Structure 1
Amino acid sequence: MLKYLQAENLKCKRTFIKKLILIAPIVPCLFGVFAGAGFQSNSFNWWYMMILPGYISLMAVMTNEKEQKKLRYRAVFGLPISLKKVWISKVLVNGIYMTFSCMILLVGIILGGHLISNTISVFRIFAGAVLIAVTSLWQIPLCMFLAKKLGMLGTVLVNIGSLFILGDLTVKTSIWWICPYSWTSRIMCSVVGSLPNGMPADIGDPLRNPVVIPIGIILSIILFVLLMIVTANWFEKQEVN
């Protein structure tokens, strides 16, 4: 499996995907500067509510286009290799890139907080970045599947549109756990004390209840594994068009 991971990472060498690892987390920090005292919470909010879903969608599309555009996957389907492992390695490499980006965001928020306004503890910033990465992993196999089926526009519209519509409808309700697009924002309410719209949550607000954290983590990991298995089985049955 390590060789598959190394191969997929090598395919991304000198591509825009590698540049996005650094560029994507810088963007919410730049937007957060305009929030002044709310720099840290707003940087987080921009990240998980807008930039990250778009970033994951673009990574998935670019990962697909590397194989699809030139040879329409002939270079993969024609080799005596495990297509399941190829797919899983693509998902895991994108997951590693996304996690690196969350860690870069973490550093940016900590440093920016010292320069602008430090309102969130380092522990909560670290916990927030890790939880965002864990609870967003499931989007990667989903977006890679969408990228192969719908292309760039369809993937971005479905992923970001679902976040805005389904996530907003459920995040403040008792059925938040049913909708994966509400998991990250609901957990972040508890961790950094800000609502999905970026406004601070009042002390005693039910949305700040930390009981949602283990629930969101468990659900996210289960959904990620299920989506990876289902999409890997689907990819294994693909043929060159």
Structure 2
Amino acid sequence: MLSIVRAEYLKTRKSMGRVLIWGFPIITFALAFVLTLGMTNAYAESVWNWWYTLLLPGMLAIICYLSITREKKTRYYHLMTLSISKRKLVMGKIIYMGCVILVSDMIIFVGATFGGFLLATCVPFGGALAAVLVLTITQLWEIPLLLFLSERFGMIVELLVCLVLTVGGVIIAPTGKWYFLFHPSR
């Protein structure tokens, strides 16, 4: 499995996917800095809020689309000619994208903690580290869905579904209605 993940890593060499891993966190830092100018104890919170509500799902959708586009260009030649099961290849792709999310979350962690320190914001180190793990784990379920949507419908539908899921979750979460949507004994 490690060789499959390494192969996915090598496929992204010299591609926009590698730039997005650190590009989206930099956009998040700039956005949070501009929106919290003059506010006290707001920078780190703003970074985390913008990251998980908008930029992380967008980055994940674009990276999934780029991955599928790269495979489509070769007409799945590299996947179809290998003697490895297709399930293992897809799992390797999902694990690689999970690692991409983890790396981007760690960049956000370092930037929010360091930026919060510079701007005299109290950032709980343990809580921020827990946020990295929780965000990484909770975003993993979207990878197969976004890969499927990218393959079947293209980028626009994938981004719209990602946006609806994210915005819908943010709107429903403060209410008590989310429990009724996802409770198994409705």
Q: Taking structure 2 as the reference length, what is the TM-score of the superposition? A: 0.88
Instruction: Give the alignment partner of residue 136 of structure 1, picking from 117, 136, 139.
Output: 139
CA contact (8 A) 1:113 1:119 kept: yes
Counting only pairs closer than 5 Å after superposition, residues 88-99 of structure 1 correspond to structure 2 as 88-99=91-102
Regions of 4+ moved over 4 Å: 177-180
2:169 alignment counterpart: 167
1:18 Cα deviation (Å)? Answer: 1.2
1:105 alignment counterpart: 108
CA contact (8 A) 1:40 1:117 kept: no
Per mean C-alpha deviation after superposition, the further-off stretch among 137-146 and 114-123 is 114-123
**One-letter amino acid of the structure 1 residue matched with residue 15 of structure 2:** T
1:17-64 CA-to-partner distances (Å, cap 9, x unmatched) read: 111111111211111112142101011000000000100000100010
- Segments of structure 1 that go 5 or more residues without pairing to the other structure are 181-241
CA contact (8 A) 2:172 2:178 kept: yes
Aligned: 1:154 with 2:157:
yes
Output the CA distance in 2 between the equivalents of 1:126 and 1:178: 30
Distance 1:174 1:108, change over 3 A: same
Give the match's secondary structure for 1:172.
coil
1:71 alignment counterpart: 74
2:49 alignment counterpart: 45
Counting only pairs closer than 5 Å after superposition, residues 6-21 of structure 1 correspond to structure 2 as 6-21=6-21
Output the CA distance in 2 between the equivalents of 1:17 and 1:178: 37
CA contact (8 A) 2:109 2:129 kept: yes
Distance 1:179 1:124, change over 3 A: farther
Instruction: Give the alignment partner of residue 122 of structure 1, picking from 121, 125, 133.
Output: 125
Output the CA distance in 2 between the equivalents of 1:125 and 1:30: 19
Give the match's secondary structure for 1:72.
coil
Per mean C-alpha deviation after superposition, the further-off stretch among 88-97 and 125-134 is 125-134
Aligned-residue sequence identity (percent) comes to 29
CA contact (8 A) 1:8 1:89 kept: yes
Q: Taking structure 1 as the reference length, what is the TM-score of the superposition? A: 0.69
1:129 Cα deviation (Å)? Answer: 2.1
Counting only pairs closer than 5 Å after superposition, residues 25-44 of structure 1 correspond to structure 2 as 25-34=25-34, 35=36, 36-37=39-40, 38-44=42-48
Q: Say which structure, 1 or 2, has more relative contact order (CA 8 Å, 6+ apart).
A: 2
